[in-house]
Chain A
């Protein structure tokens, strides 16, 4: 039982990375009907930007220029990184996706893949091939809850990611911008005629998604403090799987599916040899998709799918 609970907590942490990244995929999908295949690498870049910001802030406070308490450094790092990465996301949308808005969807997918490669290579050129160590933003404290060990990092990661997902959900439900996004997801063709600035909405969607990916990147850096330029590939594709599993364009679905994917991976590794993890995880996903071909919260194909 304690093993189960312990793995449950690990799975919650692991799933929150997937969930945060999958939300970005899903949002872009619901607005523009395309998958942002550079998203995994935006996550990676966010992690590196977070590394830079955190190192800078720690150096500043160590030099005595700014006397910042450590919790404030964490909060500032997350906020500044999210903003910076949002700009990166908007830039990518402007350069790589907006010219392709009316092109076949596969062309946009290729463009995204290539942007991802450019981000990886750019990172490699800038920082070299050696891995960098993410600075310790949270001093690990371990709590013993009857044999189950929980660190404050894990709690922080799950709480931050869940609250970010909740905040995004509220943003989309309650604000005018969110309403515009929902309208655009509902009908891409008519909504511009109603005076909704679709370019702004698209840029904002990319910004929000990239911000969440950046948050995931920092949280990942807190949990696993070694970064390398190719870490976004596997995470990106797996989160893509989670986004599809959740149902196209469903944020709730993407969050849930991210956690489900995390759970599957962790529990498969608990029961079977860990080398079988991908095999069993993807077999389960294939089975789910056979019985629910449109994902958990998706709807069957309708006229609004532009192929």
Chain B
């Protein structure tokens, strides 16, 4: 399934640099990143003043570099000192203990090791985004985009259909979850007083996520059932029509605010919640696509008739794939609605569709890894290039076209994502 590793063809001049850092395990890198964000937290502002930039660069200094060219040297220095130096230095210095710890944990108790890595990752994200609110929003939206892209990959990558229904699923989830939380837990002008005490709301937020996911999954039946008889372009149309229908339906439902949208969702989509949902989503989808169901998806993609002959129940497979994917898109929708605390039907249109398709095909077909990379890179890029204003929408499409031309299946396609292998220590075993 996986393509041959292309690390052998890396240019030789990097091999020296690589050899210094090749034995640093993931744990080491995460510790380095933690050191970097801690450094930014404590000395970031002082250092920024020292190198003559007015405040901490929000997203790796891109906004400075693009808007005020005279700040570039200071920003570069800042990035070097605050991010690159700690990451590489701490990572390299802690190589030995990190390898030991990683090796110990991986041998004794792999689950705890994964949890430990995730906790470190969360700490890095939390401290990094603690600097200002804009970073928090960017991190949340990026994590939600990861969920969306990943769930789209189940249908478009693993099952090989061209489904355009994701904005529809997301809209269903977002509205169902919003109605759930607003009706039950908030005093709103639309639905009157809260039915339950708002204090227990945050504990029932997972229920809202589940409700949103389930509504989207039920909606997915409208696409899944026609997919038994047809596929390819006709399914693309059916799914596109589904998106239009959902959008139009919501616009006409006065009870959820019609075209004006819905506001006042409680602020429960905080960073830990979004992070936890994303982790669960990645874990579940990764296990799903590596299970027999996932293999059945690939079989349906490669040759439906042959798969049928080989006892794959194609109808059941499609049904499961669509509802499963839609469930996660719905969950992402609920989170999205509670991050922005406002939804309107216009959000879930063709723009959203183009965005999520771009992220998925940029990252790579048939690959959990690729979806994560695609969603994170496109999202971050589009935030970092924000100072370019409108020119941003020339550069990002050009980049995508180039990626499509030179790597038609996306950056990291057809690669397995194995968390247990990621956390292994590197290099010579220390014991």
Q: Report A's interface with B, CB cutoff 8 A.
A: 29, 35, 95-96, 99-100, 103-111, 113-115, 117-118, 120-122, 124-125, 233-234, 237, 240-241, 244-245, 248, 273, 275-279, 282-283, 285-286, 289-290, 293-295, 301, 305, 307
Query: Does A290 lie within 8 Å of B405, measured CB to CB?
Result: no
Q: How many angstroms between the C-alpha atoms of A277 and B249 in the bound complex?
A: 10
Q: Report B's interface with A, CB cutoff 8 A.
A: 156, 160, 162, 226, 229-234, 236-238, 240-242, 244-245, 247-249, 251-252, 259, 350, 354, 357-358, 361-362, 365, 390-391, 393-394, 397-398, 400-401, 404-405, 408-410
* Chain B positions within 8 Å of A109 at CB level: 162, 357
Query: Does B248 lie within 8 Å of A276, measured CB to CB?
Result: yes
B350 to chain A, nearest CB (A): 6
Query: Does B354 lie within 8 Å of A117, measured CB to CB?
Result: yes
Q: A276 with B241: in contact, given A111-B401, A121-B393, A244-B233 (CB under 8 Å)? A: no
Q: How many angstroms between the C-alpha atoms of A68 and B397 in the bound complex?
A: 42
* Chain B positions within 8 Å of A106 at CB level: 156, 162, 361, 365
Query: Does A248 lie within 8 Å of B240, measured CB to CB?
Result: no
Nearest A residue to B361 via CB reads A110
> What are 9 A-B contacts defined by CB distance under 8 Å?
A114-B397, A117-B393, A117-B397, A124-B390, A241-B237, A248-B233, A275-B251, A301-B232, A307-B232
Interface of B is mostly: helix
Q: Besides the contacts A103-B404, A104-B409, A114-B401, what 17 more A-B pairs have beta carbons closer than 8 Å?
A: A106-B361, A113-B354, A114-B358, A121-B391, A234-B350, A244-B233, A275-B248, A275-B251, A276-B248, A279-B248, A282-B241, A283-B241, A285-B237, A293-B230, A295-B234, A301-B232, A305-B232
* Chain B positions within 8 Å of A104 at CB level: 365, 408-409
Query: Does A285 lie within 8 Å of B241, measured CB to CB?
Result: yes
* Chain B positions within 8 Å of A35 at CB level: 233
Q: How many angstroms between the C-alpha atoms of A234 and B244 in the bound complex?
A: 11
Query: Does B248 lie within 8 Å of A282, measured CB to CB?
Result: yes
Query: Does B241 lie within 8 Å of A110, measured CB to CB?
Result: no
Interface of A is mostly: helix
Query: Does B248 lie within 8 Å of A278, measured CB to CB?
Result: yes
Q: How many angstroms between the C-alpha atoms of A258 and B200 in the bound complex?
A: 53
* Chain B positions within 8 Å of A283 at CB level: 241, 245
* Chain A positions within 8 Å of B390 at CB level: 121, 124-125
Most buried by A among B232, B249, B361, B408: B408
Query: Does B237 lie within 8 Å of A107, measured CB to CB?
Result: no
Query: Does B241 lie within 8 Å of A241, measured CB to CB?
Result: yes
Q: A115 with B404: in contact, given A35-B233, A286-B238, A289-B238 (CB under 8 Å)? A: no
Contact of A282 among B245, B259, B358, B401 (CB under 8 A): B245
Q: How many angstroms between the C-alpha atoms of A109 and B233 in the bound complex?
A: 11
Q: How many angstroms between the C-alpha atoms of A240 and B237 in the bound complex?
A: 8
A41 to chain B, nearest CB (A): 11
Query: Does A111 lie within 8 Å of B241, measured CB to CB?
Result: no
Query: Does A115 lie within 8 Å of B397, measured CB to CB?
Result: yes
A288 to chain B, nearest CB (A): 10
A34 to chain B, nearest CB (A): 10
Query: Does B393 lie within 8 Å of A96, measured CB to CB?
Result: no
A32 to chain B, nearest CB (A): 13
Query: Does A244 lie within 8 Å of B234, measured CB to CB?
Result: yes
A234 to chain B, nearest CB (A): 8
Most buried by B among A96, A117, A277: A117
Q: How many angstroms between the C-alpha atoms of A103 and B404 in the bound complex?
A: 8
Query: Does B226 lie within 8 Å of A286, measured CB to CB?
Result: yes
Query: Does A279 lie within 8 Å of B230, measured CB to CB?
Result: no
Q: How many angstroms between the C-alpha atoms of A289 and B410 in the bound complex?
A: 31
* Chain A positions within 8 Å of B362 at CB level: 110
Q: A275 with B409: in contact, given A282-B244, A289-B226 (CB under 8 Å)? A: no
A104 to chain B, nearest CB (A): 6
B314 to chain A, nearest CB (A): 14
Most buried by A among B249, B350, B397: B397
